[in-house]
Amino acid sequence: MSKRIMIVDDSESMRMMVAFTLTGGGYEVVEASDGRGALEQLKDGPVDMIITDVNMPHLNGIELVRKVREHEESRFIPILLLTTESNESKKKEGREAGATGWIVKPFRSEQLLGAVRKVLG
């Protein structure tokens, strides 16, 4: 059975690129356009990983990480932040919130798949 990964990004084109990469790597993909939508989707069923942008309306990626970590059933879901943000203070904020890893956009398909495989085992 393939692993299920949630992509959270307010950019439809970015969600499409990430989904194309992940489905090509054999993963099942679900999508949300912001953090609020992601939390709603999590109520519909578990995912094996979340890949989220940082800068989004309604609930940004770092806030999403914090919210996911608050719930027992989702506390240990690996979360990768995929963002244009690359400054150390933002990365530190992501780590402190509970993010598993950080990938800077633009990404290479091999880079993203390598990170996913490393985290999911």
52-100 per-position pLDDT tens digit: 999 999 999 999 999 999 989 899 999 999 988 888 898 899 999 999 9
Which candidate, 84, 85, 120, places its Cα nearest to that of 105?
A: 84
Cα radius of gyration rounded to whole Å, the chain: 13
Which CATH class for the 4-120 domain? alpha beta
**pLDDT tens digit string along 14-41?**
999 999 999 999 999 999 999 999 999 9
Strands of 101-104's sheet, edge to edge? Answer: 28-32, 4-8, 49-52, 79-83, 101-104
Q: What is the pLDDT of residue 82?
A: 92
CA distance 23 to 26: 5
The pTM of the full predicted model, rounded to 2 decimals, is 0.95
Tokens 């940082």 correspond to what residue?
54
